[in-house]
Amino acid sequence: MLLTLTNTASPATDLGYLLHKHPDKVQRFSLTFGEAHVFFPEATEDRCTACLLVDVDPVGLVRGKNDKASGLLDQYVNDRPYAASSFLSVALREVFSTALSGRCTGKPELADQPLPLIARLPVVPARGGEAMVRALFEPLGYAVTLSGKVLNPRFPEWGESTYVDLTLSATVTVSQLLSHLYVLLPVLDNHWVVQLGSLGGGNHFIEICLDESNRVWIMLHSGSRGIGNAIGSYFIDVARKDMTRHFINLPDRDLAYFPEGTDHFEDYVEAVHWAQEYAAANRDAMLDLILVAMRQAFPSFTVTDEVVNCHHNYVAMENHFHENVWVTRKGAIRARDGDLGIIPGSMGAKSYIVRGKGNKDSFCSCAHGAGRKMSRTQAEKQFNEADLATQTEGVICRKDKGVVDEIPGAYKDIDTVMANQSDLVEVVHTLKQVVCVKG
């Protein structure tokens, strides 16, 4: 895969200082998934272009990996070697780390200087369409030029592919351009832009349940479909670099933070809220699709109650003990007085609809679910498909080795969890799964 960066402000060769790469040299960098090469095909006073060529080793990616691919050839025949993706983001971080952090050792005054820059990516996945690509970059001030790519020039009747040739132009700092690419390229990767309304893997699920009165409940659990993870990884990296830049020595690098009121703090909060809104929209889209399917299978099916919708793993500004504070709930949901919440057990166990009691000492929070008592790896070693079939008896669900890590025995006892938080919530309904769909 290829990325070119061009500076047209004289002296254009300042681009070499900003990237910490010499225009007269070809440099090679080892990556966990292949190699990266940096070279300058042109370097004059009026125009300077740097190329980042990433050579992905598709065989190396598969070697020694647990085979869970949908098909044998999927692992080897794919767009990884040529399409701009999260691999290119990793390469940007590894090869241009100093430039990405906004530092320029040779000419420090250049770091914060906006320049007329042009970035070109010859092959970019656009599964969400050209409009999606424009929606990502144009609000940031880029002039976006796109050209489609036919599937095969020899057979034009096959039509256009899902890839585009992308050129971005703007007067920005090198750090800003690299940061935008670093964050947004993974968004276009891995089908994320067309995953709205999809479930995901791991502990995500769709369940059809019955309550104590044999009423039917639809319960689903999903998230921001990888975009939240990409946002988190990016800002963790930025925070660590900020600590280094400001000479803040921490006992552990994972304690890196953004001081409230700084630009990076505001950017992070905005990004987190966007991911939370996306996750909510994703759940709404899935619920609509499920209701359509239910009505097709059961024409007399009607919706009788409103949706219970709650976030977990999120941050919000709230007032506690007469102070406005940032509350991070990890594996927890909000449980203010009267708040309705969902506390799922494992597949095969009970789940609960609860009402919050507004316990101030817990910052009006309660546990999100049963929680794991062992890792996925440990569960796969300790249990097998027969154990899974036994522990999910009576539930229509997958019972193959691909979901053994989600076996009920890998989770804490949900009844114990509920008993331990009786001062935080009251049980409104007890649900038992009939159907469980895992991603």
* pLDDT tens by residue, 216-232: 999 988 877 777 877 88
Q: Is the pLDDT of residue 70 over 60?
A: no
- Per DSSP bridges, beta strands 425-438 and 205-210 are antiparallel
Q: Domains of the chain: which residue ranges?
A: 2-194, 205-371+411-438
Catalytic residue among 180, 204, 368, 429, which? 368
CA-atom Rg of the chain in angstroms: 25
Range with the largest mean pLDDT of 9-23, 48-62, 122-136, 217-231: 9-23
Mean pLDDT for 342-359 is 92
Specify the CATH number for 205-371+411-438; select among 3.30.1300.10, 3.40.50.880, 3.90.1860.10, 2.60.120.10.
3.90.1860.10
DSSP letter at 113?
-
pLDDT category of residue 389 using cuts at 50, 70 and 90 = very high
* pLDDT tens by residue, 166-219: 999 999 999 999 989 988 887 776 555 556 677 877 778 899 999 999 999 999
264 catalytic per annotation: no
Q: Is the pLDDT of residue 411 over 70?
A: yes
Joined together, the tokens standing for residue 124 give 């970019």
Mean pLDDT for 138-158 is 88
**pLDDT (0 to 100) of residue 274:** 86
Average pLDDT value over all residues in the chain: 88
Amino acid at 57: D
405 φ, ψ to 5°?
-65, -10
Q: Is the pLDDT of residue 43 over 50?
A: yes
**Is 3.40.50.2300 the CATH classification of the domain at 2-194?**
no
Are the beta carbons of 106 and 206 closer than 8 angstroms?
Answer: no
216 φ, ψ to 5°?
-90, 135
Find the helix or strand (DSSP H, E) in which 240 lies: helix 227-245
DSSP letter at 21?
-
Q: Is the pLDDT of residue 418 over 80?
A: yes
Find the angle CA(372)-CA(378)-CA(380) to the nearest 5 degrees: 100
* pLDDT tens by residue, 100-111: 888 898 899 999
pLDDT category of residue 36 using cuts at 50, 70 and 90 = very high
Joined together, the tokens standing for residue 338 give 């009267």
Mean pLDDT for 252-274 is 92
Task: Please state whether the predicted TM-score (pTM) of the whole model is above 0.85.
Answer: no
What residues contact residue 259 under an 8 Å CB cut-off, 6+ apart? 265
pLDDT category of residue 63 using cuts at 50, 70 and 90 = low
Q: Is the pLDDT of residue 68 over 50?
A: no
Low-confidence winner among 7-16, 40-49, 266-275 (lowest mean pLDDT):
266-275
